[in-house]
Amino acid sequence: MRFIGNKENLLNNIHYTLDKRNIKGNSFFDFFSGTSNVARFFKKKGYKVCSSDLLYFSYCMQYAYIKNNSLPKFKKILPLIDTQQINLITSPLDLVLDFLNNIEPIKGFIYNNYSMGGTSALEKPRMYFSDENAQKIDSIRTQIEEWKSNKLLTKDEYFILLTSLIESISFYSNISGVYAAFQKKWDERALKKFTLRPIELVFNKENNEVFNVDSMTLINDIKTDILYLDPPYNERQYAPNYHILETIAKYDNPIVKGITGMRDYHDQKSSFCNKDMALQSLNNIAKNAKYKHLVLSYNSEGIMPSKKIIEVLSRYGNVELVEFEYLRFKSNNNGESKTKKHISEQLYILAKN
């Protein structure tokens, strides 16, 4: 899934860096979870994982990947759908996704607000999804919610289906990287027929926990061996960049405005998108959370200067900075030259006194 700051391609480097320094333990807290990639990685390593994020679509993913620890059985759904024609598909999840992939499209909120057909009356019709794919997303999302309302899904099953939908949408969206804007011409992939894809579930034997709150409110409740921070790096808030995923996850028919159909996000702003507040928040976490090691992922273009970060963290223990290069995220150029393709990832490691 395309997501600013996604650490998927850096996870082995991060783990190697920690392992080389014998930074281990039994518990891991992913403080700004996003797509939950980091939390998933450490869940696979056997840690008891906690994760948190202010965005609801992130919580859906956290619940499916981190909280859930069993294969979905869909005991109440399978008797209601025709599985007689399916021979090669075996898992209950595949059976349910196949059913959802074949239900009749409807013109719902996504079609009416994010397709050309649904917004044809606007001066600039929105081109996030083709008319056909928008209707398909509406029909799938409506069916999932109907099953939930009728108490036909367990909580695990509900979030697994939502996550399958959220993950699949990225492959058919007419965007460059984030949902803050749509492309003026159709991307080839956006014209392909929308198909739900199964997600890869991860299991361990721990009672993992997930939260959908401002992570800063959890500081006094945290007790973990490794506290991992991957906050926003610049002044752009994450909520407007992923507003459509948030709307699809909640499916709450919000009032949307502007060329891009933005939902209100006044209560989903991060203090780490403000230079002065970011350092204050970092200090608050480092000072008050209970942990053995704090690991901060940042990069060389972040709004918090490296010297200031080290100055703050050094108040609470020994700090080491490890850097390595990686490919810049396509939609995160910050006005820099288009020829600048790489960026330096910074890993600040604090061993608390």
HEC secondary structure over 128-147: CECHHHHHHHHHHHHHHHHH
Confidence of residue 334 (pLDDT cuts 50, 70, 90): very low
Q: What is the DSSP letter of 235?
A: S
- The 3-state DSSP class for residue 85 equals coil
Main-chain phi, psi angles of 350, to 5 degrees: -110, 120
- The 3-state DSSP class for residue 27 equals strand
Q: Read off the pLDDT of residues 273-283 as tens digits, 9 standing for 90 and up.
A: 998 899 999 99
Structure token pair of residue 161? 């289906």
Residues facing 298 on adjacent strands: 346
The reported pLDDT for the residue numbered 234 is 83
Say if CB 207 and CB 48 are below 8 A apart: yes
Q: Which residues contact 47 (CB under 8 A, 6 or more apart)?
A: 25, 26, 27, 28, 204, 206, 225, 226
Residues 54, 148: Cα–Cα separation, whole Å: 23
Say if CB 208 and CB 49 are below 8 A apart: yes
The reported pLDDT for the residue numbered 6 is 55
Confidence of residue 326 (pLDDT cuts 50, 70, 90): low
Helices and strands: H and E segment counts in the chain? 11, 9
Confidence of residue 205 (pLDDT cuts 50, 70, 90): very high
